[in-house]
A = this chain, B = another copy of it.
């Protein structure tokens, strides 16, 4: 095999590591791939760790011990997160996107890969320390962001449904009070999707009264799962009191004006700390 140079090894390693966040790659894996000595690979990794840090591309972590190696973790600095969300808020504010009834159209934002990836990275950075085993969302609009968060954390996504489906197998159904209308709604989750004792991170697109979020918490309780955090793309300014607490939203929506025709979207306070 032709000798592979350091710049070639490092570039390939960067791509392989960042494609599978949180997955531990052994030194031997890279030694075999590149036909290089362990000492050489260690040096490569040391340099790569600094590159990742210097350019704000995340974090490389060395894991010691028998099953040790190196893993990539996404990491968005508070400053970068704030800049990204502030720009997003500006593009969503105004009259253009307000629909009858004071609703905001932002489905396009929720399925734009670049935006969604950055939102996922931001939420993952915030909750990586909580070590969730999976990300939970309720269909439909929040799925891309929840999936992106799960990708960045390197854990599976679990999707709660509005009704049980034949192809999901035995399921747990619960009823919950929809925050916005006070209606009783149903939420269904396949029994196979989650195990007792796991840790869940709830991610969804929208938080108004918090009924659906509360329903997801209740569902996790039924499964014996601990909810380690909750993140939402958008929360409404009103009602101020939600049915859940401790959540982190990225943006706060207030629809103002006599005829509810103007959206004021601002970054959530915790981002500005």
Assembled-state Cα–Cα distance A69/B148 (Å) = 27
Cβ of A240 within 8 Å of any chain B Cβ, yes or no, is no
Return chain B residues, CB-CB under 8 Å to A47. 7-8
Q: Which of B52, B57, B108, B140 contacts A143 (CB 8 A)?
A: B140
Write out the residue numbers on chain B whose beta carbons fall within 8 Å of the beta carbon of A167.
99, 103-105, 107
**Stretch of A81-89, A113-121, A244-252 on the interface side:** A113-121
Interface residues on A, range: 35 or more
Kindly report how many copies of this chain are found in the complex they form together: 2
The answer, yes or no, to whether A27 is at the interface (CB within 8 Å) is no
Q: A99 contacts B157, CB within 8 Å? A: no
Report the separation of the CA atoms of residues A8 and B44 in the bound assembly, to the nearest whole angstrom. Answer: 10
Q: A147 at the A/B interface (Cβ < 8 Å)?
A: yes
- Can you report 24 A-B residue pairs in the complex whose CB atoms are below 8 A from each other? A6-B7, A7-B7, A8-B10, A10-B11, A11-B13, A11-B48, A12-B14, A12-B55, A15-B15, A16-B55, A23-B114, A99-B169, A101-B166, A104-B167, A107-B167, A107-B192, A108-B156, A108-B192, A111-B158, A111-B159, A112-B156, A140-B143, A143-B144, A144-B157
